Amino acid sequence: MSTVEQQTNVSGIQITLTSRAVDEVLKFMDAEKVTPEAGGLRVSVLPGGCSGFKYSLNIEERPLDDDHVLQADRVRVFVDGFSLQYLNGVTVDYVTSMQGSGFTFNNPNATGGCGCGTSFTA
């Protein structure tokens, strides 16, 4: 990977955002008028998708009381307790190709997936 990875680590939990992902998150935060000091990126896993679970990314104005708050370079990452068990070791990147651009997930906890790239089995 040619970009610098920004890792977060809380209580042995690690989530990695590449520098491209951090840059894109900051653009979305700016567009939504959310400051990096107060807000952040919610990374979560939800039941559903074609493989059983799907990823969700949202810009949030503040963390919830029971969130785990991790720091990835200039971005705070908010993760709920349910999602944390599926996200340890995940790398979030932002890629641009002829097919389009968007966030991708490399999850060592996934035992399967599908062609959509946003759904996985654990």
Q: Give the position of tokens 């810009």.
A: 59
Query: Which distant-in-sequence residues (6+ apart) come within 8 Å of 69 by Cβ?
Result: 10, 40, 63, 76, 77, 78
What the block records as the tokens of 103 is 């966030």
Give the CATH number of the domain where residue 38 resides.
2.60.300.12
- How many structural domains are present in the chain? 1
Residues 45 and 19: their CA atoms lie apart, in Å, by: 22
What are the residues facing 76 on neighbouring strands? 71
Q: What is the pLDDT of residues 50-71, one digit of tens each?
A: 667 888 999 999 999 999 999 9
Percent of the chain past pLDDT 90, that is, above it, reads 49
Cβ atoms of residues 88 and 107 within 8 Å? no
Q: What is the pTM of this model?
A: 0.79
Most trustworthy range by pLDDT among 12-16, 24-28, 80-84: 24-28
Task: Identify which has the larger pLDDT, 5 or 51.
Answer: 51
